[in-house]
Amino acid sequence: MEAFGTRLHRAMAERGPLCVGIDPHPQLLAAWGLPDDVSGLERFSRTVVDAIADRVAAVKPQSAFFERFGSHGVAILESTIRQLKEAGALVILDVKRGDIGSTMAAYASAYLEPSSPLYVDAITVSPFLGVGSLAPVFDTAHKHGGGAFVLALTSNPEGPQVQHARTVGGRTVAQEIIDEISQLNGGVEPLGSIGAVVGATIGDTGHDLSRMGGPFLVPGLGAQGGQPADLAAVFGDRIDAVLPSYSREVLGSGPSPAGLRDATERSLDACRAALGEHR
């Protein structure tokens, strides 16, 4: 299979720079008039897939909201992944896994091996046991044309305490992570397959993102306060590698499929307006 970075670059060119999350949390199910159970989860996921999966470059299911229903929820996640792929969307599973050794290899197999029922195009991973601990994910991704997005500069208020801490060499933890990722993408065109998660609301932190080489998955837009116009200040010359991600801003327009499509188009138009001149 083609490398994830190549496929993502093409998908953003063809469908536009937008990822939509599928986050069926209890409050959202209630707002849609759905029960907080497996039937509500299934109806929610099916509605989102049918409404927008053929219109966006990528869709990002949040695994935890499926896992909380146990095996039945995971079965719905498997079905949702399959439906998204059939609609032509790239699937980025938000799992934020991070471990060592054989456990990390098992996570890599669960999500990035084509034989797995949870096989997706890319996953989110946590590097705070060391970027090197994620090697099984990187190796499996490269072997099968997959990708990974490594948490680097998140927009939650607790993030800077760790991410902005200085290492012995004087760089921040986040900068160390970004620099290590850049080595994994060295020389790859048009876009590497190992990306970083960087929040839309972090502002100009002084971090150097110029050598990253891979894509940036950018949550925090819309309901969380970030705006597409903010992206240039965060990403500078690498704004062409940005994949903005919306969740509540789009999902809150349901359960009407037309409402979901309209919200998706508005979000995509805003992203195109802010990023178009840089692509």
Does the pLDDT value for residue 259 go beyond 60?
Answer: yes
- Catalytic annotation present for 143: no
State residue 278's pLDDT score.
54
Residue whose structure tokens are 């998204």: 84
Average pLDDT over residues 130-153: 98
Q: How confident is the model at residue 58 (pLDDT cuts 50, 70, 90)?
A: very high
Dist. CA 174–CA 189, nearest whole Å: 24
Dist. CA 56–CA 35, nearest whole Å: 27
Instruction: Give the model confidence (pLDDT) of 27-56 as tens digits.
Output: 999 999 999 999 999 999 999 999 999 999
Of the residues 60, 85, 96, 143, which is catalytic? 96
Average pLDDT over residues 215-232: 88
User: Residues 220, 106, 49, CA angle at the centre, nearest 5°?
Assistant: 45
Q: Which residues contact residue 123 at a Cβ distance below 8 angstroms, ignoring those fewer than 6 apart?
A: 92, 93, 94, 95, 97, 111, 112, 137, 146, 148, 149
Does the pLDDT value for residue 120 go beyond 70?
Answer: yes
Count of other CB atoms within 10 angstroms of residue 128: 12
Whether the CB-CB separation of 17 and 246 falls below 8 Å is answered with no
State residue 277's pLDDT score.
53
Whether the CB-CB separation of 92 and 112 falls below 8 Å is answered with no
Q: Which residues contact residue 266 at a Cβ distance below 8 angstroms, ignoring those fewer than 6 apart?
A: none
Average pLDDT over residues 117-122: 98
**DSSP character at residue 200:** T
Does the pLDDT value for residue 269 go beyond 70?
Answer: yes
Kindly report the length of the chain. 279
Dist. CA 231–CA 148, nearest whole Å: 21
State residue 221's pLDDT score.
87
Average pLDDT over residues 184-209: 92
User: Residues 192, 234, 137, CA angle at the centre, nearest 5°?
Assistant: 30
For 171, the domain range is 4-278
Quick one: what percent of the chain has pLDDT higher than 70?
Answer: 99
Whether the CB-CB separation of 213 and 168 falls below 8 Å is answered with no
Whether the CB-CB separation of 15 and 56 falls below 8 Å is answered with yes
Q: How confident is the model at residue 1 (pLDDT cuts 50, 70, 90)?
A: confident
Quick one: what percent of the chain has pLDDT higher than 90?
Answer: 88
Average pLDDT of every residue of the chain: 95
Residue whose structure tokens are 């948490």: 151
Count of other CB atoms within 10 angstroms of residue 46: 14
Name the domain count of the chain: 1
CATH number of the structural domain spanning residue 157: 3.20.20.70
187 or 145: which leads in pLDDT: 145
Half-sphere CA count of 87, side-chain side, radius 13 A: 23
Does the pLDDT value for residue 12 go beyond 70?
Answer: yes
